[in-house]
Amino acid sequence: MNTVAAAIRLTTIAIAIMAVLTFIGSNYSPRALASGPEDEQIHFSILHTNDEHSALIPHGTAIDHHPGKENPARGGMARLAYKVNRIKEEKDAADEEVMLVNAGDFMGGTIYNWLVFDGYAPELDLMQQIGFDLVAIGNHEFDHGPDLLADYLKTAGHPHAGEKTTLLATNTLIPDDHPLDNVGIKKTHVKKLDPGPKIGFFSLMGYDAMRVIVESGPVDFMDPHESAREAISFLREEKEVDLVVAVNHAGITEDRELAEAVSGIDIIVGGHSHTAMEEPEIVEDTLIVQAGGHLEYLGILELTYNPKSGEVKPRNENTGTPYLIPLDHTVPQDPEVASSVDKYTEKLERMIYDLTGGNFKDILEPFATSEFKLPNQPYNSENQFGNLITDAMRLVVEEKTGEKVDFAFQGSGIIRSELAPGSTEHSQDLLSIYDITEAVAIGSGPASTPGFPLASAYLTGKEILDILEISPLASQYMGDNYFLQVSGLRYAYYPERVILFHMPGIDLPFPSFQAVSNVETYTGKGPQTGKDEDFASLEIDNEKLYHIVTDYVLLERAVPEANSLIPWLSIKPKDSDGNPIENFEDCIVRVNGEDFKVWEAVLEYIATQPQGNNSSGLPRIDPYYKETMGRISIKNNTGPLTWIGVYLATFYTISPWLYLIPAAIIFGIVFKLARKRRIRSQRH
């Protein structure tokens, strides 16, 4: 009887519990059912961009852009602002936090960045107007040196503007007495979401990004992995953050290596490699994202955070939101930001008018025509845009100075884009100043005016040959900036012969200096032809001097680096009388007392192109540039006998006495083989 009563009592209790649970389930959300905050799933989003490169307006071919028509131009600050505002409104309505971060290189690339020389900070000013929470410092922020960067950041309102838009650079070492130390750049940043986790941020400048910085001055950089470990330890242990996010300017390869080598990073928002990642990569539990470049996309990472487990997961697949949102013609422009961009365009046009003595002004109006694109690729090869740019450097400097220029050189990587004419009904075959100068707009010179200056010097034929040998070697180990596009000569090179061998133990390349052959100088006038009668062999002696033109930074940096890396090399820029030039600033080409820039030479050269058959009255890019012209021929090796000759020639180049070493070794090997054959024949 007691057993039956107990059973009835337990059944009654169970029914009551089930009724209560049913009532709760029908009236409350799962979130309300949680036993406490630790069991809640919290939603938040990270919006991210990288590598804007001063692309304030829709990019690709700017002349294609038309606010009221379909067009292929992508990006622009006004489109970004519109999309960011709409996403924030949607997330705010759902009670979700949103952060907007940038992974560096917001400066450097288009002529809008020239406004820094007139005391403006257009890129960061607009980014703060749009509402960026955090901005990382990339390598192109140093294009004009750390002093000017400090002025730029002050112009944008820092350090006080850092209360809304944090500047982050974790492994950047700034001297205490430098102006850059007083603009509020932080090593780490912490933000507590409400509701949501406490997030710690840090930012690394990668190895490759450090290597290509134009001018870092006294600013130095720590090892990225060591800096990451210190930042993670500080954020986790002292700041007690729940999540760690790295906003890096390092490139996808280095981000992967970081995730493998350093634990404790939940998310890496990347930049530098311009990788448009349509979905995240997961490396050792670290989520890696990147949003391409030039504001072609806005990256969005919708996340779910579990406070109890500390786990964070993307939920874009669940919501149907793409990880990359194209900022194309379907995205309207935010009117306030568009108005701000227009004001900067007006300032820029006044600046260009003044810089060119009134020759050029309207940067977005039709300037020239072309029926074809001029590529700036492939890697380590001659390309069409390189031919036009170096022809402009050689021929315009010759016209400006009245001195014959034999050769012009420009680094492939410094030519930052192809030249593409308009492709829509309203822009077909048209080119604007903005589109033309985009490829050659970066940098400055000692005078702190926009663009790299042209530099002129005299070299011997042997030094010219050495430069051509260094070009493919340096590009393999230091990047495409050092592979030279050329005008005024033609030559062949064997890629397999560039490196003779790698020195054991230290894995350093030993150059052969036998990769280049058939170097010929152009003896005709104008753009070089392909006719053999217009070429003569390069004279390899110390008497004949050749007049060369290149950009100042390439001359000022590449020549000392080459001389220091290769002990037997000695390239010494000279004046027309053969006297060594000690100060590279003396090499700068000046017209009417002002530094003459690469971009000016290119604009002037295109402006003087013949009109052709078009009815627009605009100059037309000569069809000569539609194809490459055999200025750089790539050859293949021809077998083991060739390699023996290369080895012997290399050692003879270093020193005639060293020539005897490999010659003796080869003679000894041949002698032994012959002797063995003779012994075998005697036995038979």
Angle at 473 between CA 398 and CA 573, to 5 degrees: 35
Buried b (16+ CB within 10 A) or exposed e, 541-578: eeeebbbbbbbbbbbbbbbeebbeebeebebbbbeeee
- Residues with Cβ within 8 Å of 366's Cβ and at least 6 positions away in sequence, in order, are 63, 430, 431, 432, 616, 618
In tens, the pLDDT along 210-264 reads: 998 988 999 999 999 999 999 999 999 999 999 999 999 999 999 999 999 999 9
Give which of 131, 150, 75, 142 is closest to 104, Cα–Cα: 142
Is 191 among the domain residues?
yes
Percentage of the chain lying above the pLDDT 90 cut: 70
Same domain, 425 and 393: yes
Has residue 645 got a pLDDT over 90? no
What CATH number should be reported for the domain holding residue 570? 3.90.780.10
**Across the chain, which distance is largest between two alpha carbons, in Å?**
124
Same domain, 559 and 673: no
pLDDT at 679: 44
Given 336, 362, 390, which residue is the final one in a domain? 336
At residue 650 the predicted structure's pLDDT band, cuts being 50, 70 and 90, is low
Has residue 442 got a pLDDT over 90? no
Is 357 among the domain residues?
no
Give me the half-sphere count of Cα atoms (radius 13 Å) on the Cβ side of residue 593.
Answer: 1
Same domain, 115 and 40: yes
Inter-CA distances, 286 with 32, 314, 324, Å: 30, 12, 19
Has residue 1 got a pLDDT over 50? no
pLDDT at 660: 45
Region of poorest pLDDT, from 310-319, 352-361, 537-546, 566-575? 566-575
State the DSSP string of 17-39. Answer: HHHHHHHHHHHS-HHHHSSSGGG
Q: What gap in Å lies between CA 408 and CA 620, rounded to an integer?
A: 23
- Output the pTM of the full model: 0.84
In tens, the pLDDT along 469-491 reads: 888 888 877 777 789 999 999 99
pLDDT at 653: 56
Has residue 324 got a pLDDT over 90? yes
Is 542 among the domain residues?
yes
Same domain, 611 and 674: no
Is 484 among the domain residues?
yes
Region of poorest pLDDT, from 43-47, 469-473, 636-640, 645-649? 645-649
pLDDT mean over 126-137: 98
- Please give the residue range of the domain that contains residue 655: 640-683
At residue 19 the predicted structure's pLDDT band, cuts being 50, 70 and 90, is very low
Q: What gap in Å lies between CA 111 and CA 118, rounded to an integer?
A: 12
Number of structural domains the chain divides into: 3
Would you tell me the crossing angle of helices 552-565 and 461-478 to the nearest 10 degrees?
A: 90
Has residue 122 got a pLDDT over 90? yes
Q: What gap in Å lies between CA 225 and CA 268, rounded to an integer?
A: 13
Has residue 682 got a pLDDT over 70? no
Q: Residue 164 corresponds to which amino acid?
A: K
> Would you say 141 and 71 are in contact if contact means Cβ atoms under 8 Å apart?
no
Region of poorest pLDDT, from 89-98, 248-257, 635-644? 635-644
Task: Find the Cα–Cα–Cα–Cα dihedral 536, 538, 544, 548, rounded to 10°.
Answer: 100
Same domain, 477 and 504: yes
Same domain, 623 and 671: no
Buried b (16+ CB within 10 A) or exposed e, 486-521: bbbbbbebbeebbbbeeeeeeeeeebbbbbbeebbb
Name the pairing type of β-strands 97-102 and 42-49.
parallel
State the DSSP string of 73-121. Answer: -B--HHHHHHHHHHHHHHHHHTT-EEEEEE-S--SSSSGGGGGGGGT--
pLDDT at 473: 82
Give me the half-sphere count of Cα atoms (radius 13 Å) on the Cβ side of residue 590.
Answer: 11
pLDDT at 348: 97
Inter-CA distances, 249 with 212, 260, 497, 528, Å: 12, 17, 34, 41
Same domain, 293 and 384: no
At residue 672 the predicted structure's pLDDT band, cuts being 50, 70 and 90, is low
Given 595, 611, 634, which residue is the final one in a domain? 634
3-state SS record for 325-386: EECCCCCCCCHHHHHHHHHHHHHHHHHHHHHCCCCCCCCCCEEEECCCCECCCCCCCCCHHH
Instruction: Show the beta-strand stretches assigned E in 423-507.
Output: 430-432, 454-460, 484-487, 489-493, 499-503
pLDDT at 614: 65
Q: Which of 8-22, 417-431, 628-642 has the highest mean pLDDT?
A: 417-431
pLDDT at 423: 94
Same domain, 324 and 414: no
Is 594 among the domain residues?
yes
DSSP H helices in 234-327: 252-261, 316-319
Region of poorest pLDDT, from 302-306, 415-419, 480-484? 480-484
Has residue 649 got a pLDDT over 60? no
Q: Is 266 exposed, middle or buried (0-12, 13-18, 19+ CB in 10 A)?
A: buried
Is 13 among the domain residues?
no
Give which of 561, 559, 553 is closest to 446, Cα–Cα: 553
pLDDT at 26: 37
Q: Which of 68-77, 499-508, 647-656 has the highest mean pLDDT?
A: 68-77
Has residue 665 got a pLDDT over 80? no
pLDDT at 96: 95
Has residue 25 got a pLDDT over 80? no
| Length in residues, the chain | 684
Region of poorest pLDDT, from 9-23, 50-64, 83-97? 9-23
Name the pairing type of β-strands 594-595 and 166-168.
unpaired
Q: Which of 107-111, 232-236, 653-657 has the highest mean pLDDT?
A: 232-236
pLDDT mean over 114-122: 97
Is 254 among the domain residues?
yes
pLDDT at 268: 98
Is 354 among the domain residues?
no
Q: What gap in Å lies between CA 382 and CA 631, rounded to an integer?
A: 7
Q: What gap in Å lies between CA 292 and CA 271, rounded to an integer?
A: 8
pLDDT at 29: 31
Same domain, 617 and 664: no
Has residue 91 got a pLDDT over 90? yes
Same domain, 520 and 598: yes
Same domain, 257 and 406: no
State the DSSP string of 131-152. Answer: T-SEEE--GGGGTT-HHHHHHH
Given 614, 634, 654, which residue is the final one in a domain? 634
Same domain, 322 and 389: no
- Residues with Cβ within 8 Å of 370's Cβ and at least 6 positions away in sequence, in order, are 419, 421, 429, 431, 620, 621
